[in-house]
C-alpha cells in the first residue's frame, strides 16, 4: 500500500499534454465516481504501476 506524503516538500509534479478528446474522456471517467481528474489519473496510473511492478511478466494494459 502506498502512503501519501504529508509535507508539500515530499511531493512531485507530473504534467501530461494530451489531445482535447483524451482530456474530455478522462474528465468524464473521473466524474462518474466523483473523483477529480488529478485523483483519477493518479489512482489509475498507480494501480497499473503496482500491477506491472508486482508481476513484471505481465505486459501493460493496452
Contact yes or no for 26/37 (Cβ under 8 A): yes
Dist CA 53 CA 6 (whole Å) = 24
What number of other Cβ atoms are within 10 A of residue 59's Cβ? 8
Range of the domain at 58: 18-62
Is residue 20 within 8 Å of 28, Cβ to Cβ? no
The whole-number pLDDT of residue 22 equals: 98
The pLDDT tens digits for 7-62 are 667 889 999 999 999 999 999 999 999 999 999 999 999 999 998 888 877 676 65
Would you tell me how many other CB atoms lie within 10 Å of the CB of residue 40?
19
Map grid coordinates 504501476 to a residue: 49
Residue 7 lies in a domain: no
Please indicate, yes or no, if residue 29 is contained in any of the structural domains. Answer: yes
Q: What is the pTM of this model?
A: 0.69
Structurally, the chain folds into a number of domains equal to 1
Amino acid at each position: 500500500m502506498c502512503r501519501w506524503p504529508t509535507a508539500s516538500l515530499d511531493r512531485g509534479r507530473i504534467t501530461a499534454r494530451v489531445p482535447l478528446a483524451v482530456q474530455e474522456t478522462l474528465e468524464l471517467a473521473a466524474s462518474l465516481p466523483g473523483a477529480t481528474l488529478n485523483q483519477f489519473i493518479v489512482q489509475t496510473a498507480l494501480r497499473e504501476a503496482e500491477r506491472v511492478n508486482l508481476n513484471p511478466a505481465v505486459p501493460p494494459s493496452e
